[in-house]
Amino acid sequence: MYYVKGEHVYIKNELVDKLLRVGPGRKLTFGKYSGVVKSSGKEISWDSGKIIWTLIGELPDMYDPETKRGRYKYTAVLGKGANGVVCEAVDLQAAAASHRRVAVKVLRYPPGSTNNKELYNSALRLHCEYLWSRMFIHNTKHEHYNARQAGFFLRYFVDGTGFPAASEASTLPAEGLQKLERSTVVARIPYIVMELATGDLAWKALFEKEDAAASYSMSHRREIIWQLASALEYLGKFDLLHRDLHFHNIFLSRRKGQPAVSIGDLGMMSQRTQPVLFVPYNEEGWKMRDWVPWEAWHLHCTRSSRARSPRARSHSPYSRPQHADGNWQAFDVFSLGVIHLYLCLGQKETRNILDRMRTDLGPPSLDVEGSQPLILDADIAIRMVSKDPDERPVPGEILRSLPRMGPVWSILTWPFRSCSSRASTPRNRSRSPRGCKGEGAASVKR
């Protein structure tokens, strides 16, 4: 069954049938609306002049009110990506009431493309998302399970990709994934079902809402950093890396007046011994993905460029960043360091700092007057985004430097956590008080 979205209006099969029958470029009249049908890749849309209706595609196990068949009663489209769509739905077969409202992530591909390599790899990534949750993060029988820390991650309930169930795979080394690829026939419509996140995306809550500065004080932002660092510490117990930690994969809600973090999208997650796949970008493309550390850019520097401007390599995009075994979480720590700078200084000043670090110029020289407070000690804040992965602290060190002691602690320690004109580089870690002038987190724009 198909699903049509148009300005939060959801239409049943009459419009779907017409959109499927009418080819691109043909005029379609439906009720009081009239317009031209358009096609773009995997998507069919109908622009009636006032509303753009989009045919989302075939959705798995969709409830049909006429036949009373189907498990998922889809109610909204939460988001669309290049290869997939995430829908809100009611699980009519859920055993627990708390699991009834779910999010369904569905791959969108033309019919008959089940042998498509891109579809296969995308389905495998969906399958791995489910496994990370069920086998490790939310596995109550695992020796490292911690209910409080597991609560920082969204739960996964159903794997509809066609790959073997979690019980059939005890570990996931890189060669194990290759064996799965060769032996599995993916489902016709691969999908996974996960917990429906409450609250707002962190980017929207912290930077787009007009009352963001008032709603999230520095003590609230410190709590966000503490929860994220605790989440990374928890992943470390399972030898897991998230590798995609940024504001658009984090949801913020409220519990007893305090912010509560929910981390989603485990599509880039892997074990420490696995390579990770990144789509190659040019230099500007990587700068926009500023949560990805430089050692994962797959770039090299030209000898003729004074600033050593990186350019994309032509080799395989699979990469295992080189760093000391004791600091194998350096990738995620860098991402957390970028989040910390955004929360304290805003986007413009953060990217200025990252650019100077990347080009070996060190943190920018800034006036102490009018400084903005940092949540973490400036030395740790700079080390987290160091160009050298081995300089970055481990999550446990971040947590030890971040006691949860409320506003009194924030006031008393502010002079020692601000970033001054002598903010240290990774090679020169001065402990002197620092002040750092920034634009303010509330003024960030993307």
| Average pLDDT score over the chain | 75
- Helix or strand (DSSP H, E) at 319: strand 318-319
Q: Give the model confidence (pLDDT) of 162-184 as tens digits.
A: 887 754 444 444 444 555 555 66
Whether residue 442 is predicted with pLDDT greater than 50 in this model: the reply is no
Tokens of 34: 């009239």
Clarify whether residues 135 and 167 are in a common domain: yes
* Last residue in a domain, options 170, 195, 220: 195
Q: Give the model confidence (pLDDT) of 4-58 as tens digits.
A: 776 555 555 677 777 777 777 788 887 777 878 877 666 678 877 667 777 777 8
Residue 300 inside a domain? The answer is no
User: Which of the four pLDDT bands, split at 50, 70 and 90, describes residue 413?
Assistant: very low
Taking Cα atoms as reference points, which of 52, 128, 116, 123 lies closest to residue 84?
Answer: 123
Count the domains in the chain: 2
Strand partners, 87: 77, 104
Clarify whether residues 219 and 335 are in a common domain: yes
> Bigger pLDDT: 399 or 444?
399
Sign of CA dihedral 17, 21, 22, 23: positive
* Last residue in a domain, options 163, 195, 227: 195
Q: How far is CA 149 from CA 232, 270, 430, in A?
A: 9, 18, 33
Clarify whether residues 161 and 213 are in a common domain: no
Clarify whether residues 138 and 267 are in a common domain: no
Clarify whether residues 251 and 210 are in a common domain: yes
Contacts of 434 (CB under 8 A, 6+ apart): 368, 371, 378, 418, 419, 420, 421, 422, 423
Clarify whether residues 209 and 246 are in a common domain: yes
User: Which of the four pLDDT bands, split at 50, 70 and 90, describes residue 415?
Assistant: very low
Q: Give the model confidence (pLDDT) of 295-304 as tens digits.
A: 877 543 333 3
Tokens of 4: 């049509």
Clarify whether residues 235 and 343 are in a common domain: yes
What is the spatial distance between Cα 252 and Cα 263, in angstroms, rounded to a whole number? 9
Clarify whether residues 147 and 244 are in a common domain: no
Angle at 135 between CA 79 and CA 61, to 5 degrees: 45
Task: Please give the residue range of the domain that contains residue 173.
Answer: 59-195
Clarify whether residues 265 and 400 are in a common domain: yes
* Residue 190 belongs to domain with CATH number: 3.30.200.20
- Write down the pTM of the prediction: 0.77
Residue 382 inside a domain? The answer is yes
Whether residue 82 is predicted with pLDDT greater than 50 in this model: the reply is yes
- For residue 229, the model assigns a pLDDT of 96
**pLDDT average, residue stretch 303-327:** 40
What is the spatial distance between Cα 33 and Cα 53, in angstroms, rounded to a whole number? 11
Whether residue 240 is predicted with pLDDT greater than 90 in this model: the reply is yes
Residue 93 inside a domain? The answer is yes
- For residue 105, the model assigns a pLDDT of 94
